[in-house]
């Protein structure tokens, strides 16, 4: 393929949740961007489901996408925790979230959230280049040149890595950054049609099973969204999980949940084996820096949490909004990146650490389990304030810091001057 050069103000690497949201907020700020996505098509139906917390929903509401996202999602009423014998040991009620935070959390398919964002990017005429897998970055004094797997290059005033937990942008711009860390659990999940469970619509149910942790949430249609977290002490080597095969893993899950309360095995049994994927869970507790020169990271590329926080997508949305806001308000890209990192780092690192602690509780231990059964309601009550802080976090798009009169934008970033 011909090697061509293209120029834009901001080049976003990755059209996942963070990349798409960032492009939309940048457009609102009057900053031109283009997205380069490694996948061959925009029609990305991959992934299972995720919880979008009130704080994430509020970011989507700011993009006028709240209603579109809630449509078809599961409107949960809370979380119920059960022990291995099926006894309910604790519960969290979310029914007051709309009144408390302005938005309630939902459980929805990742593909659905991705489609809402991706279609909006398309409708707002933001350029997206698919089949554009970043392989290399070269920083110059006035621009960054990005090279892609097909040999093409693009240059931009700024490059933002929104390319997920295994970010190539991160390894190119911050070569000393630590790799993601395995958290001791292999995740697995799927969707099953179990119409007779329709009357269980409401809470997410979490079960501390005998050998693995299981969660399920019922859609009003009778489709059940479920996952199982399987403790595996050391990270499986590359290829190990794939070699087990779909039928073998499905049988393994049924075995692991033997003796656990129904409908766990019924749900697994009603899921076609080929539709049950498995992957080691990793996080990225801290990075020395989130930016270098004209390159900055956002979303999982900067701060991946394990799903045990229920905050991965919500934090990615918040960070996308905050980064766009900083680029809008600060006089140059250095101060924008610094302010962005300083404002986000404490919050996201707190959530990632909390997710680690939550994940450790999922590793079965009969003795500790008895103590957990007794203390979980107490922990939940004590953790309520932390949950309120996490869910109540709100970034205000319009509360700009007053700009000094003589403050100038960096003439080399190419960012357009904006209305305040
Ligand atoms: C296919 C897929 C399925 C997922 N499924 C689930 C799920 O079931 N449950 C869950 O909780 N979370 C899932 N996640 C993760 C979840 O979306 C993120 O944790 C969270 O939403 C933060 O989003 P992000 O935009 O930072 O990263 P991501 O959503 O991971 O998006 C990163 C994007 O960057 C692209 N990309 C990666 N490398 C390059 C490169 N070198 N060049 C260009 N583009 C690149 C990827 O294709 C992807 O579109 C999934 C992510 C992906 C990519």
Is residue 417, in this structure, part of any structural domain at all? no
- Whether ligand 1 lies within 6 angstroms of the CB of 310 is answered as no
- Whether ligand 1 lies within 6 angstroms of the CB of 257 is answered as no
Is residue 400, in this structure, part of any structural domain at all? no
Residues 56-64 have a mean pLDDT of 96
Higher pLDDT, 370 or 203: 203
Atom of ligand 1 nearest to the CA of 39: 47
- Whether ligand 1 lies within 6 angstroms of the CB of 312 is answered as yes
pLDDT-based confidence at residue 405 (cuts at 50, 70, 90): very low
What is the distance in A from the centroid of ligand 1 to the CA of 371?
37
Is residue 410, in this structure, part of any structural domain at all? no
Is residue 406, in this structure, part of any structural domain at all? no
- Whole-number pLDDT of residue 220: 95
The reply to whether 119 and 209 lie within a common domain is no
The residue whose CB lies within 8 Å of the most ligand 1 atoms, and thus the one to mutate among 12, 13, 14, is 14
pLDDT at 414 over 50: no
End residue of a domain, out of 283, 314, 332:
283
* Alpha carbon separation from 238 to 30, 67, 119, 346 (Å, rounded): 44, 40, 34, 32
- Whole-number pLDDT of residue 409: 47
- Residue 277: give the domain boundaries: 181-283
The reply to whether 42 and 117 lie within a common domain is yes
Cβ atoms 106, 69 nearer than 8 A: yes
- Whether ligand 1 lies within 6 angstroms of the CB of 227 is answered as no
What is the distance in A from the centroid of ligand 1 to the CA of 110?
9
The reply to whether 206 and 173 lie within a common domain is no
- Whether ligand 1 lies within 6 angstroms of the CB of 18 is answered as yes
Q: If you count DSSP H runs as helices and E runs as strands, how many of each does the chain have, helices first?
A: 14, 17
The reply to whether 14 and 135 lie within a common domain is yes
Is residue 407, in this structure, part of any structural domain at all? no
Percent of the chain, pLDDT > 90?
Answer: 75
pLDDT at 404 over 60: no
Is residue 409, in this structure, part of any structural domain at all? no
What is the number of other CB atoms lying within 10 angstroms of the CB of residue 193? 13
- Whether ligand 1 lies within 6 angstroms of the CB of 19 is answered as yes
Is residue 399, in this structure, part of any structural domain at all? no
pTM above 0.85, yes or no: yes
Is residue 402, in this structure, part of any structural domain at all? no
Atom of ligand 1 nearest to the CA of 301: 26
The reply to whether 220 and 261 lie within a common domain is yes
Write out the E strands in 167-286.
Answer: 181-193, 204-208, 213-218, 223-231, 277-283
The reply to whether 291 and 220 lie within a common domain is no
CATH code, domain with 214: 3.30.9.30
Phi, psi of 385 (to 5 degrees): -65, -40
- The count of domains in the chain is 2
Tens digit of each residue's pLDDT (9 = 90 or more) over 288-343: 999 999 999 999 999 999 888 899 999 999 999 999 999 999 999 999 999 999 99
- 326-360 b/e with 16+ CB inside 10 Å = b? bbbbbebbeebbbbbbebbbebbbebbebbbebbe
The reply to whether 37 and 173 lie within a common domain is yes
The reply to whether 33 and 91 lie within a common domain is yes
CA distance 386 to 170: 30
Q: Which two tokens stand for residue 293?
A: 């020169």
CATH code, domain with 129: 3.50.50.60
Angle CA(47)–CA(50)–CA(52) in degrees, nearest 5?
140
222: left (phi over 0), alpha (psi -120 to 50) or beta: left
pLDDT at 144 over 50: yes
- Whole-number pLDDT of residue 413: 47
The reply to whether 203 and 328 lie within a common domain is no
- Mean pLDDT (the chain) is 89
- Whether ligand 1 lies within 6 angstroms of the CB of 242 is answered as no
End residue of a domain, out of 236, 251, 283:
283
Tens digit of each residue's pLDDT (9 = 90 or more) over 333-392: 999 999 999 999 999 999 999 888 776 666 666 666 666 676 767 677 766 778 888 999
What is the distance in A from the centroid of ligand 1 to the CA of 247?
26
- Whole-number pLDDT of residue 364: 66
Phi, psi of 335 (to 5 degrees): -70, -30
Tens digit of each residue's pLDDT (9 = 90 or more) over 67-81: 999 898 999 999 999
The reply to whether 203 and 162 lie within a common domain is no
Tens digit of each residue's pLDDT (9 = 90 or more) over 149-177: 999 999 999 999 999 999 999 999 999 99
- Whether ligand 1 lies within 6 angstroms of the CB of 188 is answered as no
What is the distance in A from the centroid of ligand 1 to the CA of 26?
20
pLDDT at 417 over 80: no
Q: Residue 94 has what DSSP assignment?
A: -
The reply to whether 215 and 271 lie within a common domain is yes
- Whether ligand 1 lies within 6 angstroms of the CB of 230 is answered as no
pLDDT at 186 over 80: yes
The reply to whether 298 and 369 lie within a common domain is yes
Tens digit of each residue's pLDDT (9 = 90 or more) over 5-53: 455 699 999 999 999 999 999 999 999 999 999 999 766 667 899 999 9
What is the distance in A from the centroid of ligand 1 to the CA of 199?
33
Higher pLDDT, 370 or 259: 259
pLDDT-based confidence at residue 398 (cuts at 50, 70, 90): confident
End residue of a domain, out of 239, 256, 283:
283
């Amino acid at each position: 393929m011909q090697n061509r050069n293209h120029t834009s103000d901001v080049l976003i690497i990755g059209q996942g949740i963070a990349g798409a949201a960032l492009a939309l907020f940048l457009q609102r700020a009057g900053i031109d961007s283009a997205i380069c996505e490694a996948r061959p098509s925009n029609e990305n139906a991959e992934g299972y489901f995720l919880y979008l917390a009130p704080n994430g929903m509020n970011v989507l509401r700011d993009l006028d996408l709240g209603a579109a996202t809630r449509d078809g999602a599961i409107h949960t009423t809370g979380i119920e925790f059960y022990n291995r014998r099926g006894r309910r040991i604790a519960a969290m009620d979310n029914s007051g979230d709309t009144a408390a935070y302005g938005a309630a959390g939902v459980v929805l398919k990742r593909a659905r959230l991705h489609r809402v964002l991706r279609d909006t990017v398309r409708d707002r005429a933001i350029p997206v280049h698919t089949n554009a897998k970043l392989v290399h970055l070269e920083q110059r004094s006035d621009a960054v040149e990005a090279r892609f797997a097909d040999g093409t290059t693009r240059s931009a005033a700024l490059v933002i890595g929104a390319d997920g937990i295994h970010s190539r942008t991160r390894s190119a711009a911050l070569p000393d950054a630590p790799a993601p860390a395995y958290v001791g659990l292999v995740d697995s999940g799927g969707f099953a049609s179990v119409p007779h469970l329709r009357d269980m619509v409401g809470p997410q149910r979490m079960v501390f099973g005998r050998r693995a942790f299981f969660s399920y949430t019922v859609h009003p249609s009778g489709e059940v969204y479920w996952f199982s977290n399987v403790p595996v002490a050391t990270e499986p080597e590359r290829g190990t999980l794939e070699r087990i095969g779909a039928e073998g893993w499905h049988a393994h899950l049924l075995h692991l949940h033997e003796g656990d309360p129904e409908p766990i095995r019924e749900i697994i049994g009603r899921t076609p084996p080929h539709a049950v994927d498995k992957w080691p869970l990793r996080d990225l507790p801290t990075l020395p820096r989130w930016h270098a020169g004209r390159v900055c990271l956002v979303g999982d590329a900067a701060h991946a949490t394990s799903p045990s926080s229920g905050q991965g997508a919500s934090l990615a949305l918040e960070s996308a909004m905050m980064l766009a806001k900083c680029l809008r308000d600060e006089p140059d890209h250095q101060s924008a990146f610094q302010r962005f990192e300083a404002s986000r780092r404490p919050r996201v690192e707190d959530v990632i650490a909390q997710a680690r602690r939550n994940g450790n509780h999922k590793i079965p231990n009969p003795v500790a389990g008895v103590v957990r059964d007794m203390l979980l309601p107490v922990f939940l009550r004590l953790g309520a304030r932390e949950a309120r802080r996490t869910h109540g976090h709100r970034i205000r798009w319009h509360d700009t810091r007053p700009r000094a009169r003589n403050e100038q934008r960096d003439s080399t970033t190419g960012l357009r001057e904006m209305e305040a």
